[in-house]
């Protein structure tokens, strides 16, 4: 699959990943799409590099979609941890109680 295919797949995977995260994702659709594209590309690269999975099987291949969605979810979780302060914010809130 070409880079354009991964970008289109990332657009859709980002929206699916945001819906899977539910209330955690408090950002807009543009950030979701950009992180989805990056997550799909990162997931495809990681699957082929580290796990020897042929992630470039095709646009309609189920493994390609799963890899793209997992990559998008991971990046959305990282983005959420960075923008919300991560564990430090939670620890400070508990200490104040």
Q: What is the 3-state secondary structure (H, E, C) of 19-70?
A: HHHHHHCCCCHHHHHHHHHHHHHHHHHHHHHHCCCCCCCCCCCHHHHHHHHH
Q: Is the pTM of this model over 0.75?
A: no
The pLDDT tens digits of the residues spanning 8-66 come to 887 888 888 888 877 666 677 788 788 888 888 888 888 888 877 765 567 677 777 88
pLDDT of residue 18: 80
User: Exposed, middle or buried: residue 80 (CB in 10 Å: 0-12, 13-18, 19+)?
Assistant: middle
């Amino acid at each position: 699959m070409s880079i354009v295919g991964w970008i289109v797949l990332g657009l859709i995977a980002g929206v699916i990943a945001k819906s899977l995260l539910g209330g955690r994702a408090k950002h807009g659709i543009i950030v979701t799409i950009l992180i989805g594209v990056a997550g799909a590309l990162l997931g495809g690269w990681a699957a082929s590099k580290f796990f020897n999975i042929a992630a470039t099987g095709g646009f309609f291949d189920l493994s390609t979609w799963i890899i793209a969605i997992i990559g998008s979810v991971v990046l959305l979780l990282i983005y959420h941890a960075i923008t919300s302060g991560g564990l430090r914010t939670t620890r400070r809130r508990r200490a104040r109680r």
